[in-house]
A and B are shown apart, each in its own frame.
Chain A
Amino acid sequence: MTLDLLAVLVLLPVVGAVAHAFIPGRAERAHKIVALSLTTGIFILSLALVEGFQPVPGMQFEVSRNWMPALGIRYHVGIDGLSLWLIILTTFLTPIALLGSWSSIHSRVKAFQILMLLLEAGMLGVFVALDLFLFYIFWEAMLIPMYFLIGIWGHERRIYAAVKFFLYTMAGSALMLVAFIALYKTSSAHSFDILLLTQSPVAPSLQMWLFAAFALAFAIKVPMFPFHTWLPDAHVEAPTAGSVILAGVLLKMGGYGFLRLAFPLFPDAAHEFAPYIGALAVVGIVYGALVSLVQPNLKKLVAYSSVSHLGFVMLGIAAFNTTSVVGAVYQMLNHGISTGALFFCVGMLYDRRHTFAIAEYGGLKSVMPWFSSLFLLVCLSSLAVPGLNGFVGEFLIMLGSWSLSHSMVALASMGVVLAAGYVLWMVQRVLYGEVTHAVNRTLPDLSAREFAVLIPLVVLAIVMGVASPLFTRLIEPSVQSLVYETGTRMRKPSPPTRAAAAMVGGPVGERR
């Protein structure tokens, strides 16, 4: 029996959480050190996945065992190009988030570390699961630690935000569970195994219903307009680490769910729904950007910018050709890095001034030069300046989506312009000009710990901007086969519309 590296990755945080239970709560420093070193170790271990990963389609590091034979449920895990980098993103952000909240979490330090570890296990589980039941377990189990993180360590309206987050997400996935069972019943595979199910298509009429149930769950998670209303509350009220993980990883699960489950399982329905998803995505891009433009609250601005950025991801998924999907996956990673870093920066300001109001800042460039330069870099990466990571993703998405609809791409590019507007205006009000509040004159610049938090993110943003093939090389084969296979499994010979052409993937030469 080979070592099941994926199981080790998922279980290590759980083991760590159990170990924490045996350290007395008063030893706060010990808790922080143990959790940080464990998650760093997990990150290093997860790099073994990149090391051993072959740039070919199909599942790797796959393990499948009997689990609940009575219900046809197996323990089946594996990764491909879609999930590989999302796993790395998770293991990368978790230790940074722990380091970032080193001194901003004052109460119940022990519980905080335990919940962060359980959250990491849940997130990794979602990305490795290849059985619907297993997927659902992790998908839902993740809610609980996040709920506590928001509800215990959040800001003033934390309870409202935590309950709203929980209920929204649970409501979304409730029907998905029924759809899972219905899929088991109707599919000829008679299994919960995702790989088997994708190979045994369901009648197109039923596909519509099942796709709708899946799409609701994922659209809430992304979140797509108009299902996004939980996000500003959750983001603003969550503690910094919670916001970072929420934006960095949890939101990616929606897009991942569409790519891993909804599209390949229900190709006909996906083809039918794709234009609507694209339209909603574009609405989200523009709407999120416009709302960001008028936000007086720094954290809310970043939250709404997420709605806009994830609109790009969904546009890429809706277009569903190799270029656009590679772009979407890449954009998910970018958003994890950039928005994660943005939330850290906002959190650092909050640690100093205990306010998110943009009007309370101004002229920080002269007071906190190091912070200001890193913050500026992060902002530029978020608004997709060429040379930084965001540009690559958004460019690929727009390039690929051209075949879905010209007007959608045109409107989406409006979002890029608006992003420049709201980000730069915010930068101007926070960093430049005169120091308008006397208290701001004495703000300390970045501490060594804060450097250690931001530097890895900024470096990665630059590397992902200039050396994207390093990453896309491993994403592409899986995406290519996903797009191709999904296209061939469509029941109806579709009329040669533009969307249909997009479904089966353009010629390979079209990429980049």
Chain B
Amino acid sequence: MTPASLDLRPLFPAIVVAVTGLAVLLAQAFTPKGGRAPAAALSLAGLAGALVAVVVIAGGRGRGAVLATSVAADDFALFFQALILAIGIVAVLLSTSYLRETATDRGEYYALVLFAIVGMLGLVSALELVAVFVALEIMSVAVYALAGLQRDRPESQEAALKYFITGSFSSAFFLYGVALLYGLTGRTSLALIAQGLRAGGIAPAAAAAGVASAGAATALALVATALLLVGFGFKVASVPFHMWAPDAYEGAPTTVTALMAAGVKAAAFGAFLRVFLQALPSLAAHWQPAVAVLAIVTMIIGNLGALAQSNLKRMLAYSSVAHAGYLMTALVAAPGLGTEAILFYLVTYAAVNLGGFGAFAALTRSGREPVTLSDMAGLSERRPLLAAALTVFLVSLTGVPVSGGFVGKFYLFSAAVRAGYAHLAIIGMLMSVVSAYYYLRVVVAMYMEPPVGEDPWSRVGTGAALALTISTTVVLVLGVYPGPLMAWARAAAGSLR
């Protein structure tokens, strides 16, 4: 082992977050009964510290691949890490008042959030399939536990169980795909797998196992690709692997749903991109049509499903399925413009979902959350600013200017059309019109219907107000002045080529 490989600087952000997680747990243990550990403050400090570390690394100190080139701090990883840490900060800001109102204010909540973030950070920087799997599991296990944190709510338990079972199932698919690729090429490193597959030769291990012809090798590689596709399909909630999403999104504590919709989706797409573009480019002609088909059914079923929902969290869950479909239209067009578009879109999408679920969380009072459209009636008169912010998020989800969502969608569909997949863009735009109907229903309720009865909602707390302000600002600024983020996304996408 050379001294260079002991360099842990690229891992520094993840280390900071992990240590903070442990510190939060310990602080909880050392707090006398009845007292309160400053868990939220500690988490914020840790996440902010990690963000600083990302910035420092991006400045040039500590880039590169370490641990036998299994983990890297390249532009792509740094882009995602910054995004994920920002998501974490906003999610923690949203959590304090929500946890208090739902009586789930326990230290392990923050520790689990931090551990989930460690997994996400690893997921986007792993250059090697086993590392990807380990990071995926770190993230998933923490999120399973978070989903079930409201033990007294049966929905929460159901969410955790469903998410756990389908999640483990998908992990198994993923692992089987990893195993096949390893068997075929004798490697787990993304770059070396790509080399092996491109050479078309059969690794000695595979030959020993009886893979005799190049044709059989290709067939096996395709099976492995399909299995990986299933694994990632589960994590990004693409149809037909989306069944868990509505239940998990609805049942999980709302701030956890926000983290799932923003963070898990971003990290999963990050790994999805990296694995498929770096390990399987030689099979692109095979997996791109498959992803295209998945994108189509995901956009259609996600949007039609959302149309039928009366529960707001379920509606946003189906909308998150639909948005996975939009994102996959650009995955078909990756690398290049498609990758950039996905990176850009994930930023606006994260802001919108944190904001949207965050708005519901901010209104929660004594365990009661807004869940139906009638809960939203007349909200513009009771909480004018929050209603305005929520309108911005819904407009952005619909993809109407002036919002980051519009620019992002334009970016995604530009990539698809330029890569010759105009039909994906056409379906995506038509489905956006469908989506306008269900997003607008919320706006109608907030602005065009009178409030009913007593005001049951909480005042918006400081942390939540800050989080919502950040999200709104991001969405609006990206709608008008997206240039800098586009340039950054382009640089990040460049490191995948």
Residue positions of A touching B, CB distance < 8 A: 67-71, 133, 136-138, 140-141, 143-144, 147-148, 151-152, 158-159, 162-163, 166-167, 170-171, 174-175, 177-178, 181-182, 184-185
Contact between chains at A174 and B410 (CB < 8 Å)? no
If over half of A's interface residues share one DSSP class (helix, strand or loop), that class is named, otherwise mixed; here it is helix
- B402 part of interface (Cβ distance < 8 Å): yes
Q: Per a CB cutoff under 8 Å, which of A70, A163, A167, A171 touches B490?
A: A70
Contact between chains at A152 and B448 (CB < 8 Å)? yes
Contact between chains at B422 and A182 (CB < 8 Å)? yes
State whether A181 and B417 are in contact (beta carbons under 8 Å apart), knowing that A68-B482, A70-B486, A174-B429 are contacts in the complex: yes
Contact between chains at B437 and A163 (CB < 8 Å)? yes
Contact between chains at A178 and B444 (CB < 8 Å)? no
Contact between chains at A167 and B486 (CB < 8 Å)? no
Contact between chains at A178 and B340 (CB < 8 Å)? no
Distance A444 CA – B402 CA, assembled complex (angstroms): 44
Contact between chains at B448 and A151 (CB < 8 Å)? yes
Distance A159 CA – B449 CA, assembled complex (angstroms): 9
Residue positions of B touching A, CB distance < 8 A: 340, 395, 400-402, 406-407, 410-411, 413-414, 417-418, 422, 425-426, 429-430, 432-433, 436-437, 440, 444, 447-449, 482-483, 486-487, 489-490
Distance A323 CA – B395 CA, assembled complex (angstroms): 42
Distance A143 CA – B414 CA, assembled complex (angstroms): 23
Please indicate the chain B residues that have their CB under 8 angstroms from the CB of A158 in the complex: 448
State whether A159 and B486 are in contact (beta carbons under 8 Å apart), knowing that A167-B436, A181-B418 are contacts in the complex: no
Contact between chains at A141 and B418 (CB < 8 Å)? no
**Min CB gap A78→B, angstroms:** 20
Q: Per a CB cutoff under 8 Å, which of B422, B483, B487 touches A67?
A: B483
**Min CB gap B392→A, angstroms:** 10
Contact between chains at A178 and B422 (CB < 8 Å)? yes
State whether A148 and B483 are in contact (beta carbons under 8 Å apart), knowing that A137-B401, A185-B418 are contacts in the complex: no
Distance A68 CA – B407 CA, assembled complex (angstroms): 10
State whether A163 and B444 are in contact (beta carbons under 8 Å apart), knowing that A68-B483, A71-B410 are contacts in the complex: yes
Contact between chains at B436 and A166 (CB < 8 Å)? yes
Contact between chains at A140 and B437 (CB < 8 Å)? no
Please indicate the chain A residues that have their CB under 8 angstroms from the CB of B406 in the complex: 137, 140
Please indicate the chain A residues that have their CB under 8 angstroms from the CB of B487 in the complex: 70
Q: Per a CB cutoff under 8 Å, which of B402, B433, B489 touches A171?
A: B433
If over half of B's interface residues share one DSSP class (helix, strand or loop), that class is named, otherwise mixed; here it is helix
Contact between chains at B395 and A175 (CB < 8 Å)? no
Q: Name which residue of chain B comes closest to A171, CB basis.
A: B433
Q: Name which residue of chain A comes closest to B403, CB basis.
A: A141
Please indicate the chain A residues that have their CB under 8 angstroms from the CB of B429 in the complex: 174-175, 177-178
Q: Per a CB cutoff under 8 Å, which of A69, A137, A138, A167 touches B483?
A: A69
Distance A491 CA – B213 CA, assembled complex (angstroms): 54
Contact between chains at B402 and A141 (CB < 8 Å)? yes
Please indicate the chain A residues that have their CB under 8 angstroms from the CB of B430 in the complex: 171, 174-175
Please indicate the chain B residues that have their CB under 8 angstroms from the CB of A170 in the complex: 400, 432-433, 436
Please indicate the chain A residues that have their CB under 8 angstroms from the CB of B410 in the complex: 71, 133, 177, 181
Distance A70 CA – B401 CA, assembled complex (angstroms): 18
Please indicate the chain A residues that have their CB under 8 angstroms from the CB of B411 in the complex: 71
Q: Per a CB cutoff under 8 Å, which of A141, A148, A182 touches B401?
A: A141
Contact between chains at B483 and A182 (CB < 8 Å)? no
Distance A138 CA – B440 CA, assembled complex (angstroms): 19
Q: Name which residue of chain A comes closest to B483, CB basis.
A: A68
Q: Name which residue of chain A comes closest to B385, CB basis.
A: A21
Please indicate the chain A residues that have their CB under 8 angstroms from the CB of B422 in the complex: 178, 181-182
Please indicate the chain B residues that have their CB under 8 angstroms from the CB of A69 in the complex: 483
Contact between chains at B417 and A178 (CB < 8 Å)? yes
Distance A147 CA – B447 CA, assembled complex (angstroms): 11
**Min CB gap A250→B, angstroms:** 16
Contact between chains at B425 and A181 (CB < 8 Å)? yes
Please indicate the chain A residues that have their CB under 8 angstroms from the CB of B433 in the complex: 167, 170-171, 174
Give the 8 A-B residue pairs with the shortest CB-CB distance, closest first. A174-B429, A70-B486, A137-B401, A181-B417, A151-B448, A141-B401, A171-B433, A178-B425
Q: Per a CB cutoff under 8 Å, which of A133, A140, A166, A174 touches B440?
A: A166
Distance A70 CA – B336 CA, assembled complex (angstroms): 11
**Min CB gap A465→B, angstroms:** 39
**Min CB gap A242→B, angstroms:** 14
Please indicate the chain A residues that have their CB under 8 angstroms from the CB of B407 in the complex: 68
Distance A504 CA – B425 CA, assembled complex (angstroms): 35
Distance A472 CA – B393 CA, assembled complex (angstroms): 45
Distance A144 CA – B406 CA, assembled complex (angstroms): 13
Contact between chains at B432 and A70 (CB < 8 Å)? no
Q: Name which residue of chain A comes closest to B437, CB basis.
A: A167
Please indicate the chain B residues that have their CB under 8 angstroms from the CB of A141 in the complex: 400-402
**Min CB gap A405→B, angstroms:** 34
Contact between chains at A174 and B448 (CB < 8 Å)? no
**Min CB gap B401→A, angstroms:** 4
Please indicate the chain A residues that have their CB under 8 angstroms from the CB of B437 in the complex: 163, 167
Sample of 25 A–B contacts (CB below 8 Å): A67-B483, A68-B482, A68-B486, A70-B340, A70-B486, A71-B410, A137-B402, A137-B406, A138-B401, A140-B400, A141-B402, A143-B400, A147-B440, A152-B448, A159-B444, A162-B448, A167-B436, A167-B437, A167-B440, A170-B432, A175-B429, A175-B430, A177-B410, A177-B413, A181-B410
Distance A147 CA – B417 CA, assembled complex (angstroms): 30
**Min CB gap A466→B, angstroms:** 42
Distance A140 CA – B414 CA, assembled complex (angstroms): 18
Please indicate the chain A residues that have their CB under 8 angstroms from the CB of B402 in the complex: 137, 141
Q: Name which residue of chain B comes closest to A153, CB basis.
A: B448
**Min CB gap A17→B, angstroms:** 12
Distance A151 CA – B391 CA, assembled complex (angstroms): 14
Distance A471 CA – B449 CA, assembled complex (angstroms): 45
Distance A391 CA – B146 CA, assembled complex (angstroms): 72
Distance A68 CA – B489 CA, assembled complex (angstroms): 13
Contact between chains at A175 and B426 (CB < 8 Å)? yes
Please indicate the chain A residues that have their CB under 8 angstroms from the CB of B400 in the complex: 140-141, 143-144, 170
Contact between chains at B413 and A181 (CB < 8 Å)? yes
**Min CB gap B296→A, angstroms:** 15
Q: Per a CB cutoff under 8 Å, which of B413, B448, B483 touches A178?
A: B413
Please indicate the chain A residues that have their CB under 8 angstroms from the CB of B426 in the complex: 175, 178
Distance A175 CA – B430 CA, assembled complex (angstroms): 7
Distance A70 CA – B430 CA, assembled complex (angstroms): 25
State whether A151 and B444 are in contact (beta carbons under 8 Å apart), knowing that A140-B401, A174-B430 are contacts in the complex: yes
Distance A140 CA – B482 CA, assembled complex (angstroms): 18
Distance A144 CA – B437 CA, assembled complex (angstroms): 13
Contact between chains at A148 and B447 (CB < 8 Å)? yes
Distance A143 CA – B417 CA, assembled complex (angstroms): 25
Please indicate the chain A residues that have their CB under 8 angstroms from the CB of B395 in the complex: 144
Distance A181 CA – B490 CA, assembled complex (angstroms): 19
Please indicate the chain B residues that have their CB under 8 angstroms from the CB of A166 in the complex: 436, 440
Distance A69 CA – B437 CA, assembled complex (angstroms): 33
Please name 7 further chain A to chain B contacts, defined as beta carbons within 8 Å, in addition to the given A68-B482, A147-B440, A166-B436, sorted by A numbering.
A70-B489, A140-B401, A170-B436, A171-B430, A177-B413, A178-B425, A184-B418
Distance A67 CA – B439 CA, assembled complex (angstroms): 29
Contact between chains at B482 and A185 (CB < 8 Å)? no
Please indicate the chain A residues that have their CB under 8 angstroms from the CB of B417 in the complex: 178, 181-182, 185
Please indicate the chain B residues that have their CB under 8 angstroms from the CB of A174 in the complex: 429-430, 432-433
State whether A71 and B486 are in contact (beta carbons under 8 Å apart), knowing that A136-B401, A171-B433 are contacts in the complex: yes
Distance A143 CA – B403 CA, assembled complex (angstroms): 13
Please indicate the chain B residues that have their CB under 8 angstroms from the CB of A151 in the complex: 444, 447-448
Contact between chains at A181 and B436 (CB < 8 Å)? no
State whether A70 and B483 are in contact (beta carbons under 8 Å apart), knowing that A137-B406, A177-B410 are contacts in the complex: yes
Distance A91 CA – B425 CA, assembled complex (angstroms): 36
**Min CB gap B37→A, angstroms:** 40
Distance A25 CA – B487 CA, assembled complex (angstroms): 41
**Min CB gap A159→B, angstroms:** 5
Distance A177 CA – B483 CA, assembled complex (angstroms): 20
Interface centre among B407, B411, B447, B448 (most CB of A within 10 A): B448
**Min CB gap B436→A, angstroms:** 5
**Min CB gap A183→B, angstroms:** 10
Distance A167 CA – B425 CA, assembled complex (angstroms): 18
